[in-house]
A and B are shown apart, each in its own frame.
Chain A
């Protein structure tokens, strides 16, 4: 085979998604003849094989060769690609800006630029935060003029994300779904942009707190994830997760686990992501792993580690929330308030990105004794929730209003907090659900101590299970304040005395305290004591649960064999 054949083989392999074959073909092409095409193909194959550092370096060399061969149009395309990569993968803005300027000045000399001006506009749009979307809009127009479907897909996604960010959910969703329809029907040419479109969709879905947005594309997503390795878009390979979003991007989103309460999984992913960021500079597109790892450490009560991690990232907008959580945990709510107010100023035009910070500001303000600010913040959360109507935002609203009501001892607190706990659970966020449940228990305590104990125990159990140690300690302390034991040891019928064992058997049969008393020749009061001791020892909340527990753990007696 000659160089030309190798190049053709490489291009074919790239189009089929056979990255290793493409790499080999382009390497052979390069050793036969050192051309810009061989270098550029090799770079693209390496990008997919998850070696973005090498890919970017090679494509920069390809750029120089293309220019040397007088192929300025193609060189411009490469420059724009490099600018976008440096920005999205590494957040190296100076490198990105440098390549962007390069592309801009080349483009003035190019005569057959076709849709390249649109790509440039897209890259310029991405250079700033989400916002007005005018640049992306112009990119869409150019893409359509020139029939460049890849650009149309990516630019539509960007325009949609901008619209959603500024509060126009209807228009944004329409763009996003139009782009996804085009992408999934195979209109696009380069599968890389399909991957980018998927990432944007997930990003917006999480911005809105609406996983339902992704649902129409669910089947497609899973299939896509399994047929293409994702290159550096999703750097790690784990497929343990059950729900769709984490199935799609477990790789970059240790953050997903944080919300879903799988703290052990989150810890592993986030530690890897932070290590990777520190050693190679490669950074997941949709989150700062440092921010999420700080959040996790605060939950675990490992505050010193959290503080150490945060060093150098304090001013990062994405870290404002976790940093404020750390401030609150370290009993300096005033500092948390200042930090959050500052970050919110920077997010003034982005109501959805601001929402989690506003929700946190409610806690910080209450901690600092500033009820007015807390109330104001809660009202703003409610305003945003009224526009999106997603369960997650509804949960944030009820949680915020409920905590404000709790602080002012308003009777509405219980209803609001219960509804928050339910809505958080409904939107797949058990961790905030537990926090809301604990606040619910606090609201119940003055009126209904027994129910407060039950709710707090539920929260404690779940928090312990998730490994949210600090939060669990708080729940246990609250329970001790109510005069009951918070944590229970391992749940084992072996902990029960012989008498309690006997009583548990009778509870399982459905006997009331009076009937148990009669059966065992003890007073009703003593029977009641036995029952509540059993519940405490086994960490259970009711007789029904005790009976269910016995069903699993008591040896089946004659005549009650369940098989």
Chain B
């Protein structure tokens, strides 16, 4: 059987995939602490998710690995989506993107209390055509 912590984290990605960041309160503590891409608190985390969703409305996370040690869950997630609105000043070009992300998530009493997020921005920017030099020869 899956642990509570792991199923909370899975639910987190389900919410991201459903495109409704406002529902993140369900799995996140109001006092959540964030690091790196996640922003520093729950509000910034929601903004971060919303900004990706705005640019890639069909964003779909595929949780490739999910491992746990104590209250810490670590994931490798592969995201796919279509570039349909501005991202970091790059206008929509309708291109498909696929990029990896790594999250480290602490779960206490069935709630996410801390999250650190990194994603492969370089790949995103290259796939949406913002880095012309990065195209393979």
Contacts and interface: CB of A to CB of B under 8 A. Distances in A.
A binds B: yes
Interface of A: 414-415, 418, 421-422, 425-426, 430, 437, 444, 447-448, 450-451, 453-455, 458, 461-462, 465, 491, 510-515, 524, 528, 538-549, 551-553, 562-563
Contacts of A430: 84-85, 92
A451 B121 contact: no
A450 B43 contact: yes
B27 interface: no
Contacts of B88: 540, 545-546, 548-549, 551-552
A422 B121 CA distance: 23
Given A430-B85, A563-B133, A414 B22 contact: yes
Given A422-B19, A548-B88, A541 B47 contact: yes
Q: How large is the interface on B (under 10, 10 to 19, 20 to 34, 35 or more residues)?
A: 35 or more
Contact of B131 (A455, A515, A544, A552): A552
Interface string B104-133: 000000000000011101101100001101
Given A458-B51, A461-B85, 17 more contacts: A418-B20, A422-B19, A448-B22, A451-B50, A454-B54, A461-B86, A540-B51, A541-B47, A542-B51, A544-B119, A547-B37, A548-B88, A551-B125, A552-B88, A552-B89, A552-B125, A563-B133
Sorted nearest first, the 3 A-B pairs with minimum C-beta distance are A541-B51, A548-B88, A458-B54
Contacts of B36: 510-512, 543
B50 A455 contact: yes
Nearest to B25: A448
Contacts of B125: 548, 551-552
B37 A444 contact: no
Contacts of A448: 22, 46
B34 A542 contact: no
A513 B133 CA distance: 32
Interface of B: 19-22, 34-40, 43-44, 46-48, 50-52, 54, 57-58, 84-92, 117-119, 121-122, 124-125, 130-131, 133-134
A491 B119 CA distance: 23
A422 B54 contact: no
Contacts of A450: 43-44, 46-47
11 contacts: A418-B20, A425-B84, A430-B84, A430-B85, A458-B85, A462-B86, A542-B39, A544-B119, A545-B87, A545-B88, A548-B124
A524 B58 CA distance: 35
Contact of A451 (B22, B124, B131, B133): B22
A511 B119 CA distance: 14
B40 A551 contact: no
A454 B38 CA distance: 15
Contact of A552 (B46, B50, B130): B130
Contact of A426 (B21, B37, B58): B58
B6 to A, nearest CB: 25
B134 A548 contact: no
Contacts of B89: 491, 538-540, 549, 552-553
A276 B57 CA distance: 40
A444 B22 contact: yes
Residue among B48, B51, B91, B124 with most chain A CB within 10 A: B51
A462 B48 contact: no
A543 B39 CA distance: 6
A430 B84 CA distance: 8
A172 to B, nearest CB: 30
A452 to B, nearest CB: 9
Contact of B44 (A538, A542, A553): A542
B47 A451 contact: yes
B51 A544 contact: yes
Given A448-B46, A451-B21, A549-B88, A512 B35 contact: yes
A562 B134 contact: yes
A453 B38 CA distance: 17
Contacts of B119: 544
Contacts of B57: 421-422, 425-426
A551 B122 contact: yes
A398 to B, nearest CB: 13
Contacts of A455: 50, 54
Nearest to A532: B44
Given A458-B54, A528-B40, A545-B51, A465 B86 contact: yes
A410 to B, nearest CB: 15
Nearest to A451: B46
A91 to B, nearest CB: 36
A418 B19 CA distance: 8
Contacts of B134: 562
A352 to B, nearest CB: 26
Residue among A414, A430, A461, A541 with most chain B CB within 10 A: A541
Contacts of A512: 34-36, 40
A414 B50 CA distance: 13
Contact of A541 (B19, B50, B118, B133): B50
Contacts of B85: 425, 430, 458, 461-462
Contacts of A426: 57-58
Nearest to A515: B35
A543 B88 CA distance: 10
A426 B125 CA distance: 22
A549 B88 CA distance: 5
Given A430-B84, A454-B50, A544 B121 contact: yes
Given A458-B54, A544-B48, A545-B51, A552 B91 contact: no
Nearest to B35: A512
A539 B90 CA distance: 12
